[in-house]
Amino acid sequence: MNSERVYMLAADHRWQWEEWCDARQIPRARIGEAKRVAYDGFLRARDRSPDVREFGALLVDAQYAAPVVADALTAGLDVGTPAEKAGAFPLAWSVRGWLDRLVGGVGLRRGRRHPYRLQVGDALDFWLVEEIVPGELLRLRAEMRLPGRAWLEMRAEPLGADRSRYHQRAVFLPRGLAGHGYWAIVAPFHALIFGGMARNISHAAERLAAAKIATREG
């Protein structure tokens, strides 16, 4: 896939569909039907357009469209899924990025070589991809201005066929008294932010795995 040019069909809307369904007393379970329509439209666009076949990608959520994600992956399509909960907005993350820019740091940088496939050296918000092993490990090094050095590590531990355990840890090496004071202040907020991140990633992985199993058995 050409990382300089991407035609992305964004069909990851969730809270908008939830509000629409709730207002009309339509079960939210039917949101998946709308995702399927978007997927079918994407396939038709690929059939009719050489540009979409070469540069097209699908952004769809695993919360309501896990079967669609599984079908797209089985078909060899370029597909991405958001990890955050529907309607979530990382306000604390955004504020942290703004404060970092205020003191001369990198802030919330956007931009990498591929829209959803990370590589070593890529910038991800105010993190830098330090190490990546596909399907096993992602280690990010903080580049914001800190009284110390920080890493965020995400790891998948295989537990047999169709099972794995997700590990996540934040590592901070304080520099002097200021570093210890900084960690004491932010630790409670990190427990909230990173705890929610771990739950959302785990739930998204479970939905995707269940959809893959259903596709195989079907």
Note the pLDDT of residue 155.
92
The reply to whether 181 and 112 lie within a common domain is yes
Higher-pLDDT residue of 203, 113: 203
The reply to whether 104 and 17 lie within a common domain is no
Least confident of 48-62, 128-142, 176-190: 176-190
The reply to whether 212 and 175 lie within a common domain is yes
The reply to whether 39 and 102 lie within a common domain is no
Note the pLDDT of residue 93.
47
Write the secondary structure of 147-204 as one string of H (helix), E (strand) and C (coil).
CEEEEEEEEEEECCCCCEEEEEEEEEEECHHHHHHHHHHHHHHHHHHHHHHHHHHHHH
In a domain, 1, yes or no: no
Number of structural domains (the chain) is: 2
Query: What is the spatial distance between Cα 115 and Cα 110, in angstroms, rounded to a whole number?
Result: 10
In a domain, 2, yes or no: no
What number is the average pLDDT over the span 83-100?
Answer: 50
The reply to whether 23 and 72 lie within a common domain is yes
DSSP sequence for 45-59: HHHH-HHHHHHEEEE
Could you say which of 32, 55, 86 is where a domain stops? Answer: 86
Note the pLDDT of residue 92.
47
The reply to whether 101 and 186 lie within a common domain is yes
Range of the domain at 189: 91-216
In a domain, 49, yes or no: yes
Note the pLDDT of residue 198.
84
Confidence bin at 103 (pLDDT 50/70/90)? very low
What number is the average pLDDT over the span 166-183?
Answer: 87
What number is the average pLDDT over the span 147-165?
Answer: 87
